[in-house]
Structure 1
C-alpha cells in the first residue's frame, strides 16, 4: 500500500492506494532557478529571441505603447519588470512623454488608482498614468479588418496610433487558447467586446449539440482556432517587442522571455511545458487529484484548473476524485452559478453559452461536460445541493469517495494521484 499526503484546505489528507494499481504520482517537473528575479528579468531583456534589444528598435521622437495585464494577473509581478522596460525605451531615446501605458482589461472591470500603482510600482506611478482599456468605448476603438475565422479586429485606438507596441505579461497554460501570454495581450487584452466574444466562441463546436471544440484546450496551439485567431489579430498590429515571465511553483518569477512576438512566445510556452507539463504513457481508470489546498481550493470556481488538468489523465468512462474544500462556496460570478444551478441538461447549458458567451459560463459548462464523460466525485465542504443538476457527486471524505468508486467499478483500477493538479498538466503526446 502506498500512502500519499494531499493538501485539502489548510490541512492534509492521506491517500492510500495499492502499489500494484498505482501507475504513478503526477507532479510538476523539477525546474532549477539559480538567479534572482531581477537577474532573470534583465537577462531576458538583454538577450531577446529573434530580435535586437528593445533599445535598438526605438528612436528619439517615436511614440511607444506598453500594454500590461490587469490586477487579475497579479501573479505576473508586473511592478518587477515594467520599469525595466521603460528604462530600455529611455536608453533608446524615447522620452517619458512619448510612452503610453495601457492595462489590457479585455472585458474585465475598470481598476482603481491603487491597483494601477500595484501594477507598475510606486516610482513609475509618479511618472505615468495607467490607462484602462475599455472594450465598450467605441470612440476609442478602431476597426482594422477581419481574420480568416470571421472575427472583426476592433482594437484600442491609442495602440494603433503609436509607432511601437510592446506587450508585457506572463505565460501559463490556458484552457481555451492553449497558453496565456504573448498575443493574448492583444486579443482579448485591448480588443472590443465584439471581437473578444467572437474569438472565444471559437471554443465551441460548429454545430449545436456537439459541445466544446476539442482543439481549443490547454497546451494545444496547432489547430487551435482560438489561438490561431489571436495570432492573426496580433499580426494586424505587428508588435515591436514582447516581454513575458513564467512563474515557478513557489510563485516567484522562474524564467522570462523577450523579443519577437511569435518566437519569444513559443519559447515561453516550451518553458511552461518543461515546468508543468508531465508526460504520461497511458490514461488511468481512476485519478485522485487535489487542487493544492488553500487558497487554490477556496471555492468551486477556482477548482476549474484542477478538473481541466486532471481530466487529461483519466480514461473516458473512468472516475475523477477531486479534493477541493471550497470553504467559500461556489465562487465566481452570477454567470457560472446560473449555469450550474439553473439548467437541467448539457444541451440547455450549451444553448445559453451560444446565446451570450462569457468565460464564466464556459467554466460552468466545462464542469458539466466533463461530468458527462467521467464520474466526478468532489471531496468538499460544499453543499451538495449546489451541484445536484450537474452529475457531480459531493462527499465529505476521500474514504467515502473511494468506497463509492470501488463499489461501482471494483478495486482493481489503474490509478494516478495528482497532489497539485491545478499546477500540473498531464500530456500523452506533443499536441502543439
Structure 2
C-alpha cells in the first residue's frame, strides 16, 4: 500500500492478520466534471447574482495555498457569472483569507487564481495592518470583531472555500472565510480562545470538537462575525481525497454551509467497532502535510482510532516547517498544566494547536516521519524517523506481539468515529 508524503510516497507492508482495516472515505469517483458541478451550484444563486448591478465593487474571498479548494476551477466560472450580470473585471477583487498565516508568493497566487491570474486583482489579507482593518461589532460573548476593510467597503461580498472537518471549529468552510479568514489577529485569538472552558485548569470545551457545530462556542463566534458582514452568498466545494471536486454548495451563507457539512459528515466519517494498538497515518501528501499546523489535523483525526498508550506512525513532510514562527516556542512547556495556564494568560492560536499536539504526544507514542530536525521532533514529545521503514521498525519495539492496526491513507480528510 502506497502512502503519500509530500509529492512522493512510501510503501507500507503489514501482516494481514494484524490489520483491522484501512480507514478511508466510502465514496466513489465524482460523476460529473468539476465545471459542471460548479455551474450547477451557482445556478442556485442565479437570482441573487441577478441583483448585482454594473459599477458595484465585488470582493471574492478565497482560501490560501494551505487549503486546496479547487479555486482555479470555480473562480473563473464565478467571474464569468458576475460578468454576465454586468460587473466589470476591474470592479472585482480576490481577497486571500490568510487568517494569521504567512503571505502568499506570486506563484501561489497564480495557483489560487488559475487563468484569472493577471486579469483580476488578487491581494492577501493582513491581520496586523490597522490601516486595512475595520471594527464592525461585538459578539454576545464580548469578542470585538475587526475585519479587513475591503469586505466592509465592497458593495458585494462572496465567500468561497472548501468544507472539511476542523478539530475544534467542527467544520471548515462557510463562516470561517470571515473569522479567522479576514479578521484581525486580536479577533482571531479571542474567538479561538473560546475552545477553552471557563476556569483555570478546566481544559478544552467538549463541544469544540471535530464534526460538531451544535453548541460549539468557536463556531458560534464565527457565525456571529459572519452575520455582521452579511455576505451575499457562499460557494463551497467538497473534495475527494485525491483533491477532485465531488460536490459544491452555493447559496445563503449559513444554510448552504450547513447543507455542505451534513453532506461531508455522511461521507467522511468512518465507523469504528474497536480501537487499535497501532495507527499508520498519512496526511494525504502536499499540501495537507505542508507544515506541522496543517499536519496536526491528520494526527488529531487518526488518534480517534488509537488505544490509549498506543503507537501512531505519522507521515508528514512539513516542507514549510511549523506554519508559524511562534509555534515551536510553545514546547518550552512540557507539563500540560503549566502549558494550559500560559495559554490562558497569553493565548495564541498556534499555542492552542501546540497544546493539542502535546496532549496526544503524551497520551500516545507518536513516531513522526518528516523533514524536520530530529531534536526538534523530540522537543515536541515525538520520536523522529527518516522513513516509513525506520518508523515501523521503531514501532515494532513498542508494540505487543499480537498488536492490531489501522492504516489511514488520507488522514486529513476522514474521521474515525466509535459506534456506541
TM-score (norm 2): 0.86
Would the aligned equivalents of 1:379 and 1:401 in 2 still touch at CA under 8 Å?
no
Distance in structure 2 (CA, Å) of the matches to 1:175 and 1:31: 25
Alpha-carbon spacing, 1:132–1:391, altered in 2? closer, same or farther (3 Å): closer
Distance in structure 2 (CA, Å) of the matches to 1:77 and 1:209: 41
1:386 corresponds, among 372, 376, 385, to 376
Is the aligned partner of 1:230 residue 2:219? no
Q: Deviations over 1:102-135 (max 9, x none)?
A: 2222223334445434332344523x32233222
Distance in structure 2 (CA, Å) of the matches to 1:140 and 1:332: 23
Distance in structure 2 (CA, Å) of the matches to 1:204 and 1:319: 26
Q: Deviations over 1:49-85 (max 9, x none)?
A: xxx5442232344433222223333x21322222222
1:13 aligns with 12
2:243 is paired with a residue whose SS is coil
Matches within 5 A, 1:30-429: 30-48=27-45, 52-73=46-67, 75-123=68-116, 125-126=118-119, 128-280=120-272, 282-291=273-282, 294-295=285-286, 303-315=295-307, 317-324=308-315, 326=317, 331-340=322-331, 342-372=332-362, 374-378=363-367, 380=369, 385-388=375-378, 390-393=380-383, 396-406=390-400, 411=402, 415-428=405-418
1:200 CA drift (Å): 1.2
Would the aligned equivalents of 1:169 and 1:181 in 2 still touch at CA under 8 Å?
yes
1:90 is paired with a residue whose SS is helix
Distance in structure 2 (CA, Å) of the matches to 1:101 and 1:298: 23
Would the aligned equivalents of 1:310 and 1:320 in 2 still touch at CA under 8 Å?
no
Would the aligned equivalents of 2:295 and 2:316 in 1 still touch at CA under 8 Å?
no
Alpha-carbon spacing, 1:322–1:303, altered in 2? closer, same or farther (3 Å): farther
Distance in structure 1 (CA, Å) of the matches to 2:16 and 2:52: 59
Alpha-carbon spacing, 1:118–1:414, altered in 2? closer, same or farther (3 Å): closer
Alpha-carbon spacing, 1:361–1:117, altered in 2? closer, same or farther (3 Å): same
TM-score (norm 1): 0.84
Would the aligned equivalents of 2:311 and 2:399 in 1 still touch at CA under 8 Å?
no
Q: Deviations over 1:24-47 (max 9, x none)?
A: 432221233121111111111113
Would the aligned equivalents of 1:82 and 1:120 in 2 still touch at CA under 8 Å?
yes
Alpha-carbon spacing, 1:6–1:62, altered in 2? closer, same or farther (3 Å): closer
1:165 is paired with a residue whose SS is strand
Distance in structure 2 (CA, Å) of the matches to 1:358 and 1:239: 28
Alpha-carbon spacing, 1:142–1:422, altered in 2? closer, same or farther (3 Å): closer
Alpha-carbon spacing, 1:258–1:415, altered in 2? closer, same or farther (3 Å): same
Give the number of the structure whose alpha-carbon radius of gyration is greater.
1
Would the aligned equivalents of 2:101 and 2:324 in 1 still touch at CA under 8 Å?
no
Structure 2 unaligned spans of 5+: none
Structure 1 unaligned spans of 5+: none
Greater alpha carbon shift after TM alignment, 259-268 vs 140-149: 140-149
